[in-house]
């Protein structure tokens, strides 16, 4: 029992304690509440995995709630993308909810509050209101409109609602305490006038509720037991409780706001607003550009739901903000893809290799295992012939003893094929190598069982048969920002740290079996990395995105 306690995170501990005191198991209910003002990013994945993970653990419902109270920034496109991402991660919500579905209820409650002397219409400008706020050490000043009569307040509020007052004319404020040490309690704004069409309620409303007024009330309407949000909302908790107190009756279960730390990822930014800038300024091509830390970008890049969930679970929930190294996310991708991605051969930077003692015109189909980590993955046949491509960097005319690849006079194995020996190089007039000539040992075929096939040579190279190979576009991605924390410099804007070399497009040669690869199919290009077929591919002409290299090359650079 003690052991089980130890492994609970602090959020689970809160729930366990509440189950001893306030809540019954069947009272537990959670929600994930995105604002549809952009695409979800890897930070949201943490919140999704937290809330839906608790739902799975406690067998409790989890709502997907769109916090759509600001029509200036919100769009249906974002609603659709958010739903797709949550589903793709493998989670199912109990109900699809919208704060905008509660606009009428919120309005009715606000009228009640006016009648009870808990809210008033302020006709000052936002600048004037700001000037009266005070400071953390100085109390604020009361608005000259604070003591309007209920009748006048009701009449004005109704005019605001109908769009009969100018946009910046009035706001509705809660009447709390201008001397409160918590500045958020100094008569916070509940409604502002906004004559803007909403993606769901269209032109019905000319006033829109503020976050603090809408969020807890939405939680209350949906009977959410625990409302988890990020740490910056800690000072809002008092206001959250104050509002819920006003709309609930005695004995009713009230939702609890609790806070956890935001997760940041190195070499990128996790803020919808900043990601939108990257899209709008053309730094990336779209929200789902494979360089983006969005869930849709990671998906297109070749990440699996499993890898992302593993990542979120392994970093867990915390009480303090910190920066997670993107290398950890890449590690999670490698770990998952290693188990599931079929192995293939592809040459990214080709040089021609001619086997001079291999009969011209002859071809062989050699058996190659699809995944040594998964026997059930079976095998396939790959063509072998006299002319192949190998990787330029796998050959050196002369090299020291530590170079275990191809050199003149030394032997290496061609993966799934034969042992070859470098014989000579052919160069153009500028001295560039155009062909490498070698000889092969016909008895050394992999898996043939002969003594020669068992012979140990130091290096094994990947290759493709030149005449069979599929020429294909390959997109190599690197980090989107060249520094660990693009937001960390007070003097400079994060945009200044964009890595100009985050995308390199090359033409490579891959084995012909890949002609039939479909969008989103994932492969390990042996000795290189993991790749995924991009959605811009045409039938028979796959474009590959590099998901991640086989090894962490950045660790070496550091
Ligand atoms: P952004 O600044 O990117 O718009 P947000 O917090 O405003 O983020 P919301 O759509 O309001 O975005 O977030 C939905 C939920 O996801 C909230 O509960 C929020 O606290 C959580 N969340 C957002 N970003 C992170 C993050 N980096 N780490 C953990 N949780 C996050
Ligand atoms: Mg937000």
Beta bridge partners of 189: 173
Query: Per-residue pLDDT for 5 more than 70?
Result: no
Vertex 530 angle, CA 528 and 532, to 5°: 130
263 in contact with ligand 1, CB cutoff 6 A: yes
Supply the pLDDT for residue 400.
86
CA distance 32 to 99: 12
Supply the pLDDT for residue 558.
46
Residue 487 to residues 20, 64, 100, 271, Cα–Cα distance (Å): 42, 30, 33, 11
Q: Categorize the per-residue pLDDT at 36 as very low, low, confident or very high, splitting at 50, 70 and 90.
A: very high
Per DSSP, the three-state class of 534 is coil
Query: Considering the entire predicted model, what is its pTM?
Result: 0.95
Q: Categorize the per-residue pLDDT at 1 as very low, low, confident or very high, splitting at 50, 70 and 90.
A: very low
Q: State the closest ligand 1 atom to the C-alpha of 36, by its place in the atom list counted from 1.
A: 10
Query: Per-residue pLDDT for 162 more than 70?
Result: yes
229 in contact with ligand 1, CB cutoff 6 A: yes
Q: State the closest ligand 1 atom to the C-alpha of 275, by its place in the atom list counted from 1.
A: 3
Tell me the CA–centroid distance for residue 68 and ligand 1, in Å: 14
Supply the pLDDT for residue 492.
96
C-alpha closest to that of 264 among 43, 34, 495: 43
Ligand at minimal distance from the CA of 275 is 1
Supply the pLDDT for residue 6.
54
Query: Per-residue pLDDT for 3 more than 60?
Result: no
Residues 106-158 pLDDT 10s? 999 999 999 999 999 999 999 999 999 999 999 999 999 999 999 999 999 99
Supply the pLDDT for residue 2.
44
Question: Is the domain covering 265-342+472-557 a CATH 2.40.240.10 domain?
Answer: yes
CB 345 within 8 A of CB 463: yes
Residue 237 to residues 34, 50, 70, 300, Cα–Cα distance (Å): 18, 20, 21, 38
Ligand at minimal distance from the CA of 229 is 1
Tell me the CA–centroid distance for residue 273 and ligand 2, in Å: 8
Q: Structural domain boundaries of the chain?
A: 20-260, 265-342+472-557, 346-462
Query: Per-residue pLDDT for 325 more than 70?
Result: yes
Tell me the CA–centroid distance for residue 496 and ligand 2, in Å: 23
Q: Categorize the per-residue pLDDT at 552 as very low, low, confident or very high, splitting at 50, 70 and 90.
A: confident
CB 174 within 8 A of CB 118: yes
49 in contact with ligand 1, CB cutoff 6 A: no
262 in contact with ligand 1, CB cutoff 6 A: yes
Question: Which residues 6+ apart lie within 8 Å of 70 measured at CB?
Answer: 35, 37, 208
Which conformational region is residue 359 in: left (phi greater than 0), alpha (psi within -120 to 50 degrees), or beta? beta
Share of the chain above pLDDT 90, in %: 94
Q: What is the 3 state secondary structure string of 319-381? A: CCCEEECHHHHHHHHHHHHHHHCCEECEECCEEEEEECCCCCCCEEEEEEECCCCCHHHCEEE
Best of 91, 216, 230 for a ligand 1 pocket test (most atoms within 8 Å of beta carbon) = 230
Q: State the closest ligand 1 atom to the C-alpha of 271, by its place in the atom list counted from 1.
A: 3
Mean pLDDT of 9-38: 97
Supply the pLDDT for residue 348.
98
CB 510 within 8 A of CB 344: yes
Mean pLDDT of 516-530: 97
Which residue CA neighbors atom 22 of ligand 1 most closely? 44
On the question of a common fold for 20-260 and 346-462, the answer reads no
47 in contact with ligand 1, CB cutoff 6 A: yes
Mean pLDDT of 356-361: 97
Q: Categorize the per-residue pLDDT at 554 as very low, low, confident or very high, splitting at 50, 70 and 90.
A: low
Residues 384-395 pLDDT 10s? 999 999 999 999
Which residue CA neighbors atom 9 of ligand 1 most closely? 34
Q: Categorize the per-residue pLDDT at 555 as very low, low, confident or very high, splitting at 50, 70 and 90.
A: low
As a whole number of Å, the end-to-end CA separation of the chain is 44
Residue with tokens 């956890």: 260
**Domain 346-462, CATH:** 2.40.240.10
Ligand at minimal distance from the CA of 230 is 1
Active site residues: 35, 262, 272
- Looking at per-residue pLDDT, the higher value among 398 and 465 belongs to 465
Q: Categorize the per-residue pLDDT at 4 as very low, low, confident or very high, splitting at 50, 70 and 90.
A: very low
Tell me the CA–centroid distance for residue 44 and ligand 1, in Å: 5
Per DSSP, the three-state class of 85 is helix
Per DSSP, the three-state class of 245 is helix
Tell me the CA–centroid distance for residue 387 and ligand 2, in Å: 57
The number of C-alpha atoms within 13 Å of 33 and in the hemisphere containing its C-beta is 23
Which residue CA neighbors atom 10 of ligand 1 most closely? 34
Residue with tokens 């509720």: 209
Decide the pairing of beta strands 119-122 and 171-174. Answer: antiparallel
Tell me the CA–centroid distance for residue 229 and ligand 1, in Å: 8
46 in contact with ligand 1, CB cutoff 6 A: yes
Residues 416-428 pLDDT 10s? 999 999 999 999 9
36 in contact with ligand 1, CB cutoff 6 A: no
What would be the CATH architecture of the domain defined by 20-260? Answer: 3-Layer(aba) Sandwich (3.40)
CA distance 194 to 189: 14
Query: Per-residue pLDDT for 247 more than 60?
Result: yes
Mean pLDDT of 217-244: 98
Q: Provide the mean pLDDT of the chain.
A: 96
Supply the pLDDT for residue 556.
53
Instruction: Enter the tokens of residue 59.
Output: 């067998």
Mean pLDDT of 186-212: 98
């Amino acid at each position: 029992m003690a052991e089980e306690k130890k492994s609970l995170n602090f959020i689970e501990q809160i729930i366990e304690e509440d189950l001893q005191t306030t809540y019954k198991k069947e009272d537990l209910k959670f929600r994930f509440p995105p604002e549809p003002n952009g695409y979800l990013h890897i930070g949201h994945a943490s919140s999704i995995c937290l809330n839906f993970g608790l739902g799975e653990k406690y067998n409790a419902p989890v709502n997907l709630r769109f916090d759509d109270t600001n029509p200036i920034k919100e769009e249906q496109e974002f609603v659709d993308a958010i739903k797709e991402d949550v589903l793709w991660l493998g989670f199912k919500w109990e109900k699809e909810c919208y704060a905008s579905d509660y606009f009428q209820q919120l309005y009715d409650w606000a009228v009640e509050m006016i009648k009870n002397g808990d809210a008033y219409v302020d006709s000052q400008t936002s600048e004037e209101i700001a000037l009266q706020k005070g400071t953390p050490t100085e109390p604020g000043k009361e608005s000259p409109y604070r003591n309007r009569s209920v009748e006048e307040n009701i009449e004005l509020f109704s005019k605001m609602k109908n769009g009969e007052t100018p946009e910046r004319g009035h706001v509705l404020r809660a009447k709390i305490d201008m001397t409160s040490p918590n500045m958020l309690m100094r008569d916070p704004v509940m409604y502002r006038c906004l004559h803007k069409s909403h993606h769901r309620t269209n032109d019905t409303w000319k006033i829109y509720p503020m976050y603090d007024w809408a969020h807890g009330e939405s939680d209350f309407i949906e009977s959410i037991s625990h409302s988890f949000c990020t740490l910056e909302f800690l000072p809002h908790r008092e206001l959250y409780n104050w509002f819920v107190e006003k709309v609930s009756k005695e004995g009713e279960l009230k939702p609890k706001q609790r806070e956890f730390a935001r997760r940041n990822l190195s070499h990128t930014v996790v803020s919808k607003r900043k990601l939108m800038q990257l899209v709008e300024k053309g730094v990336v091509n779209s929200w789902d550009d494979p360089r983006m830390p969005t869930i849709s970008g990671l998906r297109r890049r070749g990440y699996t739901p499993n890898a992302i969930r593993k990542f979120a679970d392994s970093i867990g929930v915390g009480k303090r903000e910190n920066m997670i190294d993107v290398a950890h996310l890449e590690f999670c991708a490698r770990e998952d893809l290693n188990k599931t991605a079929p192995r293939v051969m592809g040459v990214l930077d080709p040089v021609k290799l001619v086997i001079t003692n291999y009969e011209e015109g002859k071809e062989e189909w050699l058996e190659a295992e699809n995944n040594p980590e998964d026997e059930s993955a079976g095998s396939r046949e790959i063509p072998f012939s006299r002319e192949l491509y190998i990787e330029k960097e796998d050959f050196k005319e002369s090299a020291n003893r530590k170079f275990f690849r191809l050199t003149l006079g030394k032997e290496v194995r061609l993966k799934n094929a034969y042992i070859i020996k470098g014989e000579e190089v052919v160069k153009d007039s500028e001295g560039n190598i155009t062909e490498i000539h070698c000889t092969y040992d016909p008895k050394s075929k992999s898996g043939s069982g002969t003594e020669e096939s068992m012979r140990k040579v130091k290096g094994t190279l990947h290759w493709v048969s030149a005449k069979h190979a599929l020429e294909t576009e390959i997109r190599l991605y690197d980090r989107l920002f060249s520094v660990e924390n693009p937001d960390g410099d007070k003097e400079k804007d994060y945009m200044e740290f964009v890595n100009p070399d985050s995308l390199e497009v090359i033409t490579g040669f891959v084995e012909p079996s890949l002609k039939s690869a479909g969008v989103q199919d994932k492969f390990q290009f042996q000795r290189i990395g993991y790749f995924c077929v991009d959605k811009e591919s045409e039938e028979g002409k796959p474009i590959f995105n590099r998901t991640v290299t086989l090894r962490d090359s950045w660790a070496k650079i550091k």
